[in-house]
Amino acid sequence: ETVLSDVGRLNDMGSFDHVTFETEERVTAAPGSNGNATQKSVLVTFYVRERAMVSKVIYHGDYRMNDRELSGRSGIAEGDPLSEFAIETGKRRLIDYYQEEGFNQVSIVASIGLPGDSNAVVFRINEGPKERIDDIRIEGASIVSESRLKKVIQSRGPMMGIMSYIGNVADMKKIDADVNVLASYYHNLGFLTATVGRRIEYDPTGTWLTIVFVINEGPRFSIGDVQIVGNEYVTEESLRRRLELKSNDVFSGTKMRKDIGEIVYGYGELGFIYAEVNPKTIMRDENGIVDLVYEITEGDRWKVNSIRVEIDGEPHLMRETTMLNLIEMREGDYIDRRDLETGRNRIERSNLLETNPTIAEPPDIIVKPLEGSLR
């Protein structure tokens, strides 16, 4: 098993095309035995085939970008192992970078070798035009204004005057993501069957485009039944008192997520700190009615066994005592999820410990189950 792991580590280095091994059992005289006793050992031999190394990297046709930026994006540099997979991955990264910058028609051909230099890597780039957004239109929206929907998406059209070339690069990945953002926005408002598409219209130059988002709102759904399943320790009545969404209300994703949080916190106050709630929406045959089901996995109920303070650096008794005073939990209590979060916030705001993640791990309260413990 160790030898096979070593083969894997050698392959992970990326410097070899092939790694194999052989083992040979040996019998030798045991030390200090004067030849009267023997010992067995195993000789392990690893056979590797080294990859060639990249001699140079050439970017040809990058008129709007510089070699230094492209080198950082591709991840291919002189002296790296010559790998077709790494070069293809670098090509994909370069295409992604160009498209993020608005060069949506870019094409790149990657090749290995030049006359007199078989280890050179060449990226031949056809950048195409840099595309910008001239206008954004939204069709089919009746319940929400176009101006409001434009604030929801990330894509932006040109500003006035000299600002017309700032912030309006046509990033197709961002545009496609905006389609999902608009669909989610409508679903959150209760239009659970709403669909969103998009259409791109180019001007005669092929460099300025208009994005048209096409929305099919569909019906706005109301709540039919609200069901709670999976609860054993907590009564359904006490859970329902926490819910804001009721039967006959208009469906709201925001309120549903808030209700899920209330159920989770309700369990968390009783020691079920790993309780989970999975919501399901079941559409009825009746138009515009949806049943809401909260599936609960309660998990175990946890108590505080011990509270320890672990501080990297110079230990300080006063600092440890102060930190213990900042949390409300005590040994033997059921763990309260709200108390956990309150304690975290108090410790972070106390200025006793380093909170900058670039310097040290931020302070935290970690729950560690006892080994072999069920709750």
**DSSP per-residue string spanning 27-85:** EEEPTTSTTSSEEEEEEEEEEEEEPPBP-EEEEES-SSS-HHHHHHHH---TTSB--HH
- 3-class SS at 115? coil
Second-level CATH architecture of 132-216:
Roll (3.10)
The pLDDT of residue 2 is 92
Q: Which of 117, 124, 153 is nearest to 137 (CA)?
A: 153
Who contacts 74 (Cβ-Cβ below 8 Å, separation ≥6)?
A: 57, 90, 91, 93, 94, 123
> Would you say the CATH fold of 222-297 matches that of 56-126?
yes
Give me the CATH code for the 56-126 domain, please.
3.10.20.310
Residue 160 in contact with residue 93, Cβ under 8 Å? Answer: no
Boundaries of every domain in the chain? 2-50, 56-126, 132-216, 222-297, 304-375
What is the reported pLDDT for 161? 58
What is the rounded CA–CA span in Å between residue 299 and residue 28?
A: 59
pTM over 0.75: no
Could you list the pLDDT tens digit for every one of the 375 residues in the chain?
999 999 999 988 878 888 999 999 988 887 776 767 888 899 999 999 888 899 999 999 999 999 999 999 999 999 888 888 899 999 999 999 999 999 999 999 999 999 999 999 999 999 999 999 999 999 999 999 999 999 999 999 887 656 667 788 999 999 999 999 999 999 999 999 999 999 999 999 989 999 999 999 999 999 999 999 999 999 999 999 999 999 999 999 999 999 999 999 899 888 898 899 999 999 987 788 999 999 999 988 888 877 777 676 655 555 667 767 777 777 778 888 777 778 777 777 776 666 677 666 766 667 777 654 443
Backbone angle region of 363, left / alpha / beta, with phi > 0 → left and psi within -120 to 50 → alpha: beta
Is residue 272 within 8 A of residue 263, CB to CB? The reply is no
Task: Assign a CATH topology to domain 222-297.
Answer: Ubiquitin-like (UB roll) (3.10.20)
Query: Rounded to the nearest 5°, which phi and psi values hold at 119?
Result: -105, 10
Query: What is d(CA 196, CA 242) in angstroms, rounded to the nearest whole number?
Result: 34
